[in-house]
Amino acid sequence: MLQKGCIALLFAAGFTILVSMYLGIRQPTHCRLPPQRQQPYTDPTKLPLLLLWFWPENLKFDPRECQTEFGINECSVTDDRSVYENAEGVLIYHRAIRSDLANLPPRERPPFQKWIWFNVDPPTKTQNLTNLDNLFNLTMSYRKDADITVRVRVLSHKNPEEFVLPVKDKLVCWLSDEEDLGVARDYYKELQKHIKINVFGKAFGKPIKPDIYYSTIASCKFHLSFENSIHPDYITKTLHDPLVSGTIPVVLGPPRKNYEDFIPRDCFIHVNDFPDAKALAESLSHLDSDNSTYQNYFAWRKYLYVRPRQLKSEKQFLHDICLACQHLGRKRVYRRIHDVYKWFYGRPKWLP
């Protein structure tokens, strides 16, 4: 009798240990950066490994924040090149190749491995390197037809939200940190003749600290969300910052239709809605005195919102890399990109 009890107890203990071992292995661990991983991954039950071949712009962050900030825990992120043979994904930041293909990982790669082409620049700012054919498996860019689209998004929520319009003491502002205003400069110069434009940011020698960044934009009725070059889907933070702040963006970039792929049609003003800068200026002045029409531009905020982006520059690639991690963990599709440039430089019909 005693013996039987002992055996049962042993079984129970063994079972408990097995279950806890199983749970221990299967419990999702967050994205982590093994500081100096000695042992390469060999255990197939472990999360897929994403190797950052370069840190984009050398901006390092703690990948555990994928879990804490975005709840993404579908892979492990590492920058340790010695685990190359075991990495399911290798993220290659285009700018860091610096026209030297010797900076790329070894061409011999394990059959399961996917190389991710990561580029945040528009085609005119993207260096055309030869011999990038048949290297990559996934594209990661702001384009909506990329395998991994990385851009600020408008999100929906179910419960109506009370929106309080911020107090405004300026009519038109432009906050830009761009080094080069590009194609936006001419329109700005013309518009300036017809309406006062308050400028801020590095582009104008007036840098704005992160703690007053959104409130500066919020204090203006309109914000010039002008892109410095015009490409399909190339709609950047300059649009999203006023949407976060509670300010109407006046956009210059791809056609209105392209904007409407990403944001509601009645939340912004497109420069092409007007024959010229003078007509735009008149319309903005009119809206200044017509408060109810002005308020209508914020009707979308009841059910939609835009999450503020990471203003700390050292974390600017955090969300993008977490999305790559998520993709790697969820999608196991075979993919091969023959000519990454053909896709990226392809000119749409509406461009002159």
Nearer to ligand NAG, 108 or 169 (CB): 108
Length of the chain: 352
Nearer to ligand NAG, 104 or 171 (CB): 104
User: 201 pairs with which residues across the strands?
Assistant: 206
Task: Confirm or reject binding of residue 341 to ligand NAG (CB under 6 A).
Answer: yes
Instruction: Tell me the three state secondary structure of residue 68.
Output: helix
Piece of 71-79, 276-284, 292-300, 331-339 that binds ligand NAG (CB under 6 A)? 331-339
Task: Confirm or reject binding of residue 107 to ligand NAG (CB under 6 A).
Answer: no
Which residue of 16, 29, 103, 134 would you call a contact of ligand NAG, by CB under 6 A?
A: 134
Footprint on residues 135-154 left by ligand NAG (CB under 6 A): 135, 137
Which residue of 44, 102, 334, 349 would you call a contact of ligand NAG, by CB under 6 A?
A: 334
Whether the Cβ atoms of residue 67 and residue 75 lie closer than 8 Å to each other: no
Piece of 188-196, 266-274, 297-305, 335-343 that binds ligand NAG (CB under 6 A)? 335-343
Nearer to ligand NAG, 15 or 112 (CB): 112
Nearer to ligand NAG, 138 or 287 (CB): 138
The residue behind tokens 């104008």 is: 204
Task: Confirm or reject binding of residue 335 to ligand NAG (CB under 6 A).
Answer: yes
The Cα-based distances of 242 to 116, 173, 175, 215, 245 in angstroms read: 31, 10, 10, 10, 5
Whether the Cβ atoms of residue 218 and residue 164 lie closer than 8 Å to each other: no
Q: CB-hemisphere CA count at 13 Å for 305?
A: 11
Task: Confirm or reject binding of residue 86 to ligand NAG (CB under 6 A).
Answer: no
Nearer to ligand NAG, 22 or 345 (CB): 345
Q: What is the DSSP string of 126-166?
A: S---S--TT--SEEEESSTTSSEE-S--EEE-SS-----PP
Euclidean distance between CA atoms 208 and 206, whole angstroms? 6
Which stretches of the chain bind ligand NAG, using CB under 6 A?
A: 112, 114, 128, 130, 134-135, 137, 334-336, 341, 345
